[in-house]
Amino acid sequence: MLGNMPGYARDPLGFLTRCSREYGDVVTLRFPGTLAYLITHPDHVEQILVKNNRNFIKDKYTREELSILGNGLLINEGDFWRRQRRLAQPAFHRRRVEAYGETMVAFTERLLADWRDDEVRDVHREMMRLTLEIVAKTLLDADIAREAEGVGEALGRIMDYFSDQGSGSFLRMLPESVPTPANLRYRRAVRRLDGIIYSIIEERRRSGKDTGDLLSMLLHAEDEEGNRMDPRQLRDEVMTVVLAGHETTAIALSWTFYLLGKHPEIEAKLTSELEEVLAGRSPTVEDLPRLRYADAIIKESMRLYPPAWAIGREAVGECEIGGYHVPTRTQMFISQYVTHRDPRFFDEPEVFDPSRWHDGRTQNLPDYAYFPFGGGPRLCIGSNFAKMEAALLLATVAREFHLESASGEPPVPQPSITLRPRGGIGMKLKKR
């Protein structure tokens, strides 16, 4: 009755990896009332995300798990999605994003001023707080330092809720509207986030200021009939950029610091690059083209631990993939985690080796063998923002601190909506 659910729920990453390695590029999975295909080959990924993207919408699990985002950009579809994407796009243009660099570095230095030599901190928690403050400041011109703790706690509850959902327990399979303790906790967490988002919007509306940032663009946008966005849609868009815009980058950095702590020889190469390029000063956007090794480190960290570890789609019409018939309403499951570790595309796929991005080994990689930001029309709108932020934050922190694991146990990835380290990553801070 439960089909593949128990195997999946026990260990989603291991289960999907085994399925793909044992059964090939297209694997049928059965979940209660649902037919799903696991798709691993880059050509098939490209077919779904790019070439035949019009035949697919977001899958039903994404729609359900991200219901907190309402009808925001991430799960919106069709003409309305296209309109909203066009509206938000200017805030993410390369030029515009480059102007955020200074804030990113300044906020990081403000955080580092509180870090003490030999202190142990949960680096995931620190990065979540930092990236939240950055996204709020740059895109919404809001100072969210006071609320950061509350947002972090509410988000933690939401992630736990979804990573426990496949656990097969009867209570967890009841719909969200049934007042089980877990559902009540979830709803409380959503209300808390809503309160914060609505107050940011309200404050700006009251001030009447047009600061030219994303929030102003959304507040002042008008459709052909001159109508402004209704308050619910505005809330959905702001909630989307706040959540999508900080959680993933924080995860990328957390795994990066963990990996650097485990590989002192790679960290040493990074610090010598930082010394050479920065010569003791803070990094700026102009330095980024020369911080090539830092860039490779982040790329490699997102290969092993892709913050968005899976992308789902639902077929709206039948089609064929890899010689297999895909019936209408099939849930297509694409996993960066599985494809990024496929030995056909990456030699020694489990090894953290940033040099592979510079020494020619990845030169002939198929386009969708590595796709941490997705692809096609639904490509992450914040990919330039995220790449720049990750590089600047890594350089700013690594210049001042060496981080080493405070526990003998490696952190365990928690495949919920994103790939968080379960329980965080305790690291000892060593001032350079």
* Six-digit token string for 63: 């729609």
- Closest of 137, 75, 28, 48 to residue 321, by C-alpha: 48
Report how many residues bind ligand HEM under the rule CB under 6 A. Answer: 23
Q: If binding is defined by CB under 6 A, does position 243 make contact with ligand HEM?
A: no
Specify whether the CB–CB gap between 13 and 309 falls below 8 A.
yes
| 145: β partners | none
- Cα separation, 66 vs 306, in Å, equals 18
Instruction: By CB under 6 A, name the one of 9, 36, 74, 397 that touches ligand HEM.
Output: 74
Task: Give the length of the chain.
Answer: 432
204/402 with CB nearer ligand HEM: 204
161/309 with CB nearer ligand HEM: 309
169 backbone dihedrals φ, ψ, rounded to 5°: -70, 140
The 3-class secondary structure across 373-394, one letter per residue, is CCCHHHCCCCHHHHHHHHHHHH
Q: If binding is defined by CB under 6 A, does position 244 make contact with ligand HEM?
A: yes
Binding letters toward ligand HEM, positions 165-204, x by CB under 6 A: ----------------------------------------
Scanning 29-37, 111-119, 244-252, 263-271 for contacts with ligand HEM by CB under 6 A, the matching segment is 244-252
64/276 with CB nearer ligand HEM: 64
Nearest approach, Cβ of residue 346 and ligand HEM (Å): 18
Q: If binding is defined by CB under 6 A, does position 249 make contact with ligand HEM?
A: yes
Q: Where in 375-414 is the site for ligand HEM (CB under 6 A)?
A: 378, 380-382, 385-386
- Cα separation, 149 vs 357, in Å, equals 37
- Cα separation, 364 vs 370, in Å, equals 12
Contacts (Cβ under 8 Å, ≥6 apart) of 284 = 101, 102, 105
Instruction: By CB under 6 A, name the one of 252, 321, 397, 419 that touches ligand HEM.
Output: 252
Instruction: By CB under 6 A, name the one of 248, 256, 339, 405 that touches ligand HEM.
Output: 248
Scanning 39-47, 243-251, 339-347, 392-400 for contacts with ligand HEM by CB under 6 A, the matching segment is 243-251
Instruction: By CB under 6 A, name the one of 29, 128, 201, 311 that touches ligand HEM.
Output: 311
Other CB atoms closer than 10 Å to residue 85's CB: what's the count?
Answer: 15
